[in-house]
Amino acid sequence: MAIQTMKTALLAFGLTVGLASGVGLASGPALAAGEEVDLINEHFHHEGPFGAFDKAAVQRGYQVFTTVCASCHGAKYLAFRNLGEIGYTEDQIKAMASQYTVTDGPNDDGEMFDRPAIASDYFPSPYPNEKAARAANGGAYPPDLSLITKAREHGTDYVYSLMVGYEEAPADVTIGEGMYYNAYFAGHQIGMPQPLYGDDVTYQDGSSSDIHQEAHDVVSFLHWLAEPKLEERKRTGIKAMIFLVIFSGIFYAYKRRVWADLH
């Protein structure tokens, strides 16, 4: 896919917001312009009270993000060192960070300078400033993807559905100039060209890279990016529930003992 086409696709992806998972049954509705659209319901490892992130899927999603998404979108809340939380080693993180250039300074001469990124740096924006981003994208500003799956109800389902929902328009539908048909976008006409086709990346772990797998993986990564403490929060919640159950039992037994002589 040509660079400009990729940028246009990713811009629209960010502007439409959403991401979801898998292949399966219709799930939560997407609402826009008064129209309700059923979304695909994909199962993710992190779902449910005991769910945890599939680290392999999150790593693959990071590969899709850096290969496809990062040419237009930033991830300003992602420090390279955070990648250790999804299983990357310190050496791997240093190597990945060094592939990017960040602006630092001022130096002893009072000037800013560029240097290779290090683990403590945050993921660099593809543009130096907002005006440059708008100039490169027809006046539109590509949003940061750090919290994209939290920006809309059924966010993961919406994004996943959007990524895999491109189809040929039905014969009775007229598509406007510069628009594309998407089965899961409200109104079904979207200005974002199809961003994923399958085999857009070659996974380092040898996994299949069909379009559904790529969409699943990049959504897994983006949701981890939006909720990196998800697993910790769930563990805390489970501990709190266990404590409340035990405390309630003790309190009930104590109440029975105190009031036993009055029955």
Q: Give pLDDT tens digits for 83-142.
A: 999 999 999 999 999 999 999 988 888 989 999 999 999 999 999 899 998 898 777 788
Q: Which residues of the chain have pLDDT under 50?
A: 1-28, 31-34
Token pair, residue 35, equals 């129209």
Q: How far is CA 14 from the centre of its chain?
A: 10
Residue pointed to by tokens 């990564």: 221
Closest by CA to 220, choosing from 13, 19, 16, 6, is: 19
Rounded CA-CA distance 202/43 in Å is 23
Token pair, residue 8, equals 């246009």
Q: What is the pLDDT of residue 9?
A: 44
Q: Which residues contact 147 (CB under 8 A, 6 or more apart)?
A: 77, 225, 226
Q: Which residues contact 48 (CB under 8 A, 6 or more apart)?
A: none
Which residue(s) pair with 31 in the sheet? 36
Q: What is the pLDDT of residue 156?
A: 93
Residue 40 sits at φ, ψ, to 5 deg, of: -75, 140
Closest by CA to 221, choosing from 85, 30, 50, 101, is: 85
Q: What is the pLDDT of residue 13?
A: 40
| The CA-based dihedral angle spanning residues 101, 104, 108, 109, taken in that order and rounded to the nearest 10 degrees | 80
Is the domain covering 3-78+123-228 a CATH 1.10.760.10 domain? yes
Long-range contacts of 24-33 (CB under 8 A, 24+ apart): 27/154, 27/157, 28/153, 28/154, 28/157, 28/158, 29/154, 30/154, 30/158, 30/161, 30/184, 30/185, 30/186, 31/186, 32/185, 32/186, 32/187, 33/186, 33/187
pTM of the model: 0.78
| The CA-based dihedral angle spanning residues 217, 222, 225, 231, taken in that order and rounded to the nearest 10 degrees | -60
Rounded CA-CA distance 125/107 in Å is 22
Spell out the domain ranges in the chain.
3-78+123-228, 230-263
Question: Can you tell me whether residue 30 is helix, strand or coil?
Answer: strand
Closest by CA to 215, choosing from 82, 69, 80, is: 69
Q: What is the pLDDT of residue 256?
A: 84
Q: What are the CA-CA distances from residue 98 to residues 87, 95, 124, 203, 231 (Å)?
A: 18, 5, 12, 20, 29
Bond from prior residue into 49 cis (ω within 30 degrees of 0): no
Q: What is the DSSP letter of 128?
A: S
Residue 14 sits at φ, ψ, to 5 deg, of: -70, -40
